[in-house]
Amino acid sequence: MNTQYRRKRRMGLFAGAIFVISITLLIALAAPRENSPAGNAPPSTENTGSLPPAQRLIVLDPGHGGHDPGCVYGGYFEKDLNLSLALKVRDALKEQGFLVLLTREDDSAVSPEDRAAIPQNAGADIFISIHHNSLEDDTVTEGIETWYNDGMNRLNASFAGYIQNEVSSATGGKNRKLKISDRLIVLQGASMPSCLLEAGFLSSDKERMLLVTGNYQDKLARGIADGIVRFFNEAV
């Protein structure tokens, strides 16, 4: 083979390889994400089977933000703790390959209506709002609660149960059980399984000391992530 032919042949092989890679990429990009509704249609929670994590979209909502600090005790703002916990949960879930979206990633204000619209418009598979609790003039009450709306999705009680149990066992915190409410605006528009976690009481002198540490936040985050994974594996 002369040099010119060899060069042409090399170019031909190169072009062929690029073609194969392009086709593979096109097929990968064109593959529809199951359970991903077109436009703003509500996502289906029926017959999702056990999809791989890369086909599960989880929306996390760190409560409050901006001009709304949430509850404030001992110089700690609830909005900051909600965000740092949500970021840890995001990292834990991304590590396992899940798609994760946050309603805010910094100290910005988002209305409850917008928080509710984000998972709906994104076609989320599940939605969890993250908060910290408080009781006025009470420095003792402590523990974990998970709230859900029992009129929105038939799996809400189940999803909330997984979160409540896993967070309680991961942290060893007091299990204050599930709470039902249809008055939480952030959950009112969610047609996918959703709940609101109250990770602990900032008003409790004892529990606050735990809630502000990275170590305890890691345990909370692991509990939330484990609850989500178990829910997908066992309940959906």
- Contact positions toward Zn ion, by CB under 5 A? 63, 70, 131
Catalytic annotation present for 95: no
Q: How far is the CB of 131 from Zn ion (least distance, A)?
A: 4
Q: Which is nearer to Zn ion, 95 or 113 (CB)?
A: 113
Query: Taking a C-beta distance cutoff of 8 angstroms, is the pair 98, 29 a contact?
Result: no
Q: How far is the CB of 97 from Zn ion (least distance, A)?
A: 30
Q: How far is the CB of 161 from Zn ion (least distance, A)?
A: 21
Q: List 62's β-bridge partners, or say none.
A: 130
Q: Which is nearer to Zn ion, 99 or 144 (CB)?
A: 144
Q: Which is nearer to Zn ion, 70 or 161 (CB)?
A: 70
- Long-range contact set of residues 36-45: C-beta below 8 Å, sequence gap at least 24: 36/123, 37/123, 40/120, 40/121, 41/123, 42/120, 42/191, 42/192, 43/123, 43/124, 43/125, 43/191, 43/192, 45/125, 45/153, 45/154, 45/155, 45/192, 45/193, 45/236
Q: How far is the CB of 220 from Zn ion (least distance, A)?
A: 15
Q: Which is nearer to Zn ion, 126 or 186 (CB)?
A: 186
- State residue 2 phi and psi, 5-degree precision: -80, 170
Which segments of the chain are extended strands (E)?
57-62, 72-73, 76-77, 99-102, 126-133, 144-148, 175-180, 194-201
Q: Which residue is nearest to Zn ion (CB)?
A: 131
The token duo for 148 is 């859900």
Q: Which is nearer to Zn ion, 155 or 196 (CB)?
A: 196
Q: How far is the CB of 200 from Zn ion (least distance, A)?
A: 12
Q: How many residues does the chain have?
A: 236
Residues 6+ apart with CB under 8 A from 229: 96
Catalytic hit among 78, 198, 207, 234: 198
Which are the catalytic amino acids? Answer: 198
